[in-house]
Structure 1
Amino acid sequence: MTIQTADMDATRAAAVHQNAALSREGLLERVFSRLFRGLVYAQIWEDPVADMAALDLTRGDDMVCIASGGCNVMSYLTAEPRSITAVDLSAAHVALLRLKLAGARHLPDFDTFYRFFGHADRAANVRTYDEELAPRLDTEARAYWEGRSLRGRNINMFANNFYAYGLLGRTLWFAHLLARLGGADLRRVLSAKTLEDQREVFEAEVAPLFEKRAVRWLGRRRASLFGLGIPPAQYDKLAADGDGNVMPVLRERVRRLMCDFPIAENYFAWAAFNRGYKREEPRSVPPYLEREAFGTVRKGAAHVQVHNRSLTDLLAEQPAESKSVYVLLDAQDWMTDAQLTALWSEITRTARPGARVIFRTGGAADILPGRVDPAVLGQWHYDAEASAAAFRADRSAIYGGVHLYRLGAKV
């Protein structure tokens, strides 16, 4: 189903705009939503391995996910769910996931697939697109990749390190520049051999940056975090964990990303500090880019549907008790109480017995109690143990909490 651009802009605005247009907060919200019209995430920043363990995915599951950069949807295919329905308000994210699905289904072998989406910086990728993928894409996705900007066709990003592009990619470039100006080299951590080495790099190179006047000044500006996909409402949740000061919160999350997981095994750290995956063996990549997963991903790609629309609207059209797993990323941090209740009403209606919902929050606390209609939320059980385990396992390290709900009363 094609959604007109004006309709999608209105839907995106409804998800983000919570204040009057001429208020300070309202102006910030409108700047943020405008930035989200294009490509934001070349790579999604929630750990699919942590998700799959918490959700205990099975072959009988029918999933509903927010697409974002698409790599988590692709990675969930390694668990062989029966179906995945992915949605996103960004036409660029929808086009990216459709490109990945076409690659999994139609590229001749794993090496070609990996060159395209793992290296993502080879001139041959553009020829592969023209010859192998373009004829197999839908009209909207093809229009996006063949659309033009100052760099030429959008597909040219895959010849020039795709993971350096998008709003997040540009923000990471600026973070590296700011670090260099402050006398730090973020790439040093990539050569660390042990967790202790990683901690030493953090203390020597990164921790002092958070004391720099320019960094502290930027941290006090909500707009400075827009490039990380953090709208004003989510900024406030981050700051709340630091008693109103976002800097200690950001410092701790960078420390966790850099220090708590072996660098060789954390592709999120490579994406942040290398702006691209670790390509030398053993590689550090999302599950869908692992060689042994390619056959399963290729087979499962036919069972994924991708829609450019809001999650609540899509669920409203689904049959009752038709879905078993819902992956909401951090989208609820943007929502009003009314929007949350509308979403969870549709989740509850479409959920079948045993259904699970997983989501992230910018702050540590679960945001649903007291905001979602108790008659709706009361039908779900918050799994505190699984939530805490998923948070500890999440290598992306940028969120304050991971939360898992199960349909039905606690047993």
Structure 2
Amino acid sequence: MNSEFYNLDLDHIRYSLVWEDSQTLYRSLKISTNDHLLVITSAGCNALNILLKHPASVTATDLNPVQNKMLLLKKQVILNFDYALYHDLLGLAGAVAVNEAKQRILPTLTAADQAFWTTFLEENPGGLLLSGKLEKFMMAFHQSLGQEQQELIHQLITFDTIDAQYKFFLEKLDNSSFKQTFIAYFSNENLSSGRDPKLLKHVDESGGIVFYKRLLLQVSSSLLKENFYFRFIFFGLQNLPHHVLPPCYRRENYSILRKNMDRLQVIQGEAVEYLLSVPGLKITKASLSNIFEYISHEEFQKVCLALAKHPERDLQLIFWNLLNIQGENFLPSVNRIKLKSQSLSQESCFYFKNKVQIQFVPVPSLHLT
């Protein structure tokens, strides 16, 4: 696939969190024990979230080898340590706990991994979840606000009803300098601080205004105190209730992750290339994050047609749009390609536009008698 990702330096953690929420993933793919899934590794969150549904197998793939290293570190921890160390290494108990967890995990790693993670955690003392380039950019917005506006934002997670929350936002924030500050911070120009400018080549919409409209919609439709992504963006890991964490980071799911870890394989490479390979033919469902954000509409159509060439392929595929309208104007010439755009779950991040689902329907075999 001709993606802008091939033009990047893939030598650091770009994402320390998967921003595509697990509930949209679960609702869309309806994972069963017979499913073989492909997922973009990113920070590993959704690869682990999928394991909680007991699939036959999960293949996590990423062009960035450092993203795969993060998932493999989590795998090492889950298999060999208790939940407390996992929790602390993520950064959920603060920098002191991260350092203590580091001292326990490093001796169990290979010499090469010891060297890598020693340096990495020295540079990112807040833990794994706070270490990504995008995450640092997102959380810096709150720090750029004045004390009064920070306090107003904090009040948004104190409401018990959406109506009261939305009314407060309109009265206290929408009519203040917060709106223009937000739009300016998340503009395409400034967004390049968190995402490489090369990745914005094919966008169809402008960041700041679009993101503000999506934030406004979220404030009017879902309870922010229960939204992990809202709380993470504005407050990081500070006072984060355990029940709003992604499923793979909750204590009650830890034993399931450990039990199912042998179903996970992590490989380096491009997702579409894998789907077009012989091993990729076994994949029944795939979550491809927002990888189609970084290709042209013409390239997207080529990818869909290439995936449809194999007559026996029975595949459900989902991906997220950010500033692109990928798939919305696509009219497949092959009738076995079923494509539809769907809204996101209430647990999603305002960052995204929507989720697109594609189904490749197999051609029935002809049996001559």
For normalisation by structure 1, the TM-score amounts to: 0.75
SS of residue in 2 equivalent to 1:340: helix
Counterpart of 1:232 in structure 2: which amino acid? L
Asked whether 1:78 is paired with 2:55, we answer no
Matched residue SS, 1:307:
strand
Contact 2:149–2:178 (CA under 8 A) maintained in structure 1: no
Q: 1: CA distance between counterparts of 2:289 and 2:136?
A: 22
Deviation at 1:206, TM superposition (A): 3.7
TM-score of the superposed pair, with normalisation by structure 2: 0.82
Match of 2:338 in 1: 381
Which string of whole-angstrom CA distances, capped at 9 and with x for unpartnered residues, describes residues 308-331 of structure 1?
Answer: 322233334433631101111111
Task: Compare the two structures and name the one with the higher helix fraction.
Answer: 1
Partner residue of 1:332?
292
1:46 paired residue number: 20
CA distance in 2, matches of 1:204, 1:138: 56
* Match of residue 349, structure 2, among 390, 393, 396: 396
Counterpart residue number, 1:272: 233
Question: 1:203 maps to which residue?
Answer: 170
Report the more deviating stretch, 115-124 or 67-76.
115-124
Q: Percent identity?
A: 15
Deviation, 1:258, is 4.1
> Does the aligned pair in 2 maintain the 1:361–1:402 contact within 8 Å?
yes
Match among 190, 197, 201 for residue 233 of structure 1:
201
Partners of 1:182 and 1:209 within 8 A in 2: no
Residue identity in the other structure for 1:144: F
CA distance in 1, matches of 2:22, 2:240: 19
Note if 1:15 corresponds to 2:28.
no
Change (3 A) 1:272 1:70: same
Partner of 1:26: none
The 1:283–1:310 alpha-carbon spacing in structure 2 relative to 1, beyond 3 Å, is same
> Which residue of 194, 202, 205 maps to 2:161?
194
Alpha-carbon distance in structure 1 between the residues aligned to 2:111 and 2:316: 31
Which residue in the other structure is 1:168 paired with? 134
Instruction: State the partner residue of 1:119.
Output: 92
TM-fit CA distance, 1:364: 7.3
The yes-or-no answer on 1:102 pairing with 2:76 is: yes
Q: How many residues are paired up?
A: 359
Q: Give the secondary-structure state (helix, strand or coil) at the position aligned to 1:65.
A: strand
SS class of match (1:123): helix
Superposed CA offset, 1:27-78 (max 9, x none): xxx7xx45x6422222111111111111110111111111112111111111
Q: 1:37 to 1:204 in 2, by over 3 A?
A: farther
Aligned to 1:260: 221
Quick one: distance in 1 between partners of 2:101 and 2:51? 23
Take 1:132 and 1:393, find their aligned partners in 2: how far apart are those partners? 36
Residue pair 2:338, 2:358 contacting (<8 A) in 1 also? yes
Contact 1:258 1:269 in 2 (8 A): no
Does structure 1 conserve the Cα–Cα contact (< 8 Å) formed by 2:38 and 2:59?
A: yes
Offset at residue 270 of structure 1 (A): 1.5
Q: Which amino acid aligns with 2:337?
A: W
Q: Distance in 1 between matches of 2:32 and 2:111?
A: 30
User: Partner letter of residue 116 of structure 2?
Assistant: Y
Shift of 1:202: 2.6
Q: Secondary structure at the match of 1:326?
A: strand
Gap runs ≥5 in structure 2? 364-369
Residues 1:128 and 2:97 aligned together = no
Does the 8 Å contact 1:161/1:276 carry over to 2? no
1:81-109 CA deviation, whole Å, 9 max, x = no partner? 111111122233211111111122111x2
Contact 2:182–2:212 (CA<8 Å) still a contact in 1? no
Q: Is the 8 A contact 2:320 2:352 kept in 1?
A: yes
**Which residue does the alignment assign to 1:288?**
248
Tell me which of 86, 94, 116 is aligned to 1:144: 116
Distance 2:233 2:289 in 1: 19
Distance in 1, matches of 2:41 and 2:107, equals 21
Q: Is the 8 A contact 2:205 2:323 kept in 1?
A: yes
Which letter maps to 1:251?
Answer: Y
Give distance in 1, aligned partners of 2:346 and 2:111. 37
Residue 177 in structure 1 maps to residue 120 in structure 2: no
The answer to whether the 8 A contact 1:95-1:144 is kept is no
Distance in 2 (CA, whole Å) between partners of 1:133 and 1:75 is 25
Give the aligned residue type for 2:48.
Answer: M
